[in-house]
Amino acid sequence: MNLKSDDARWGSAAKFFHWSVVILLLVQATVGLVMVQLPKRPSVIAWFSFHKSLGLTILLLALLRLAWRAFDRHPLPPPGMPRWQALGAKAGHVLLYGLLFAVPLTGWLFDSASSLRPLFWWDLIKMPSLTGGANADLKPIAQTLHLWLFLALAAVAAGHAAVALVHHFFQRDDVLRRMLPGRRRLSTPNQESSP
Ligand code: HEM
Ligand code: HEM
């Protein structure tokens, strides 16, 4: 198992960060969209707390992922990929990283501005307030931003997944294969660099 990425494929650490965040985001989005529709009863608080803790976990994973990325390599674009496409992919990834931070941070900002009850990460760590107390002006802004940035993340991620599928099924290159779990045979093994 290669922890680090090389010129041809992503390492297991990058794959772990990528796919764990995808799965957690799906759970998180579902919980978020459902919990706001539930009747306001005390039992709903548990869902809100779960959503907040999971959201902070996603934020932590995004931070760890970026830190790891700084030491890791990045596989080369597939042979023959036009420069504009490589640049477009990079811009899309920068946007995804930005939204991966912005969505949980605006959720945290909304929670701080509401100042309903202390924010705990899985009942383990008390998180600081980002506003230093209730802030009635900021609260609706953070709430709206949290929803709209989430919608932007969903749209960009859907486009990103569609592009990955086009690479796989139409261009028949290794872009998706080299990000999938396991060590799959690549169609351009001569690109493989020695470990
Ligand atoms: C990547 C992480 C996150 C995603 C994808 C996400 C997604 C969502 C979604 C889809 C909603 C429903 C929005 C609506 O219909 O108005 C929501 C609501 C909410 N989120 Fe998040 N969220 C994330 C992180 C967080 C974090 C870290 C916190 C707080 C620490 C948080 C606090 C809230 C709260 C309090 C609501 C309810 C808003 C309301 O009452 O209108 N979220 N979230
Ligand atoms: C919420 C969903 C997703 C997010 C936030 C996300 C985010 C990202 C990010 C930030 C990168 C760049 C990695 C880096 O340069 O460090 C990446 C790469 C990649 N993602 Fe996703 N992704 C998501 C869903 C998907 C899905 C569903 C697929 C497959 C259908 C996919 C396929 C890929 C592939 C193949 C790469 C590598 C591209 C390359 O080698 O240049 N992603 N993703």
Q: Across 82-195, where does the E strand assignment appear?
A: 120-121, 125-126
* Atom 21 of ligand 1, residue of closest alpha carbon: 107
Residue 192 has pLDDT above 50, yes or no: no
Residue 42 has pLDDT above 50, yes or no: yes
Q: How far is the CA of 95 from the centre of ligand 1 (A)?
A: 19
Closest ligand 2 atom to Cα of 74? 15
Q: Are 28 and 62 in contact (CB under 8 A)?
A: no
Measured from the CB, is residue 89 less than 6 Å from ligand 2?
yes
pTM of the full structure? 0.94
Q: How far is the CA of 120 from the centre of ligand 2 (A)?
A: 30
Distance CA 109, CA 138 (A): 8
Across the range 27-53, mean pLDDT stands at 95
Amino acid 81: pLDDT: 87
Cβ contacts of residue 117 below 8 Å, gap of 6+?
A: none
User: 131-162, pLDDT tens digit by residue?
Assistant: 999 999 999 999 999 999 999 999 999 999 99
- What would the two tokens of residue 100 be? 């991966």
Measured from the CB, is residue 164 less than 6 Å from ligand 2?
yes
Q: Which residue has the higher pLDDT, 52 or 194?
A: 52
Most confident of the following: 39-43, 107-111, 173-177: 107-111
User: 112-126, pLDDT tens digit by residue?
Assistant: 999 888 999 999 999
* Atom 30 of ligand 2, residue of closest alpha carbon: 161
Cβ contacts of residue 61 below 8 Å, gap of 6+?
A: 17, 20, 21, 24
* Ligand 1, CB cutoff 6 Å, lining residues: 25, 28-29, 32-33, 36, 48, 51-52, 55-56, 58, 103-104, 107-108, 110-111, 119, 143, 146-147, 150
Ramachandran bin of 132, using left for φ above 0, alpha for ψ from -120 to 50, beta for the remaining angles: left
End-to-end CA distance of the chain: 11
Closest ligand 2 atom to Cα of 167? 35
Distance CA 88, CA 105 (A): 26
Amino acid 184: pLDDT: 73
- What would the two tokens of residue 163 be? 């592009």
Q: Are 120 and 77 in contact (CB under 8 A)?
A: no
Residue 108 has pLDDT above 70, yes or no: yes
Q: How many alpha carbons fall within 13 Å on the CB side of residue 85? A: 13
Ramachandran bin of 38, using left for φ above 0, alpha for ψ from -120 to 50, beta for the remaining angles: beta
Residue 195 has pLDDT above 70, yes or no: no
Averaged pLDDT of the chain: 93
pLDDT confidence of 188, banded at 50, 70, 90? low
Q: Looking at domain 12-181, which CATH architecture does it have?
A: Up-down Bundle (1.20)
Share of the chain above pLDDT 70, in %: 96
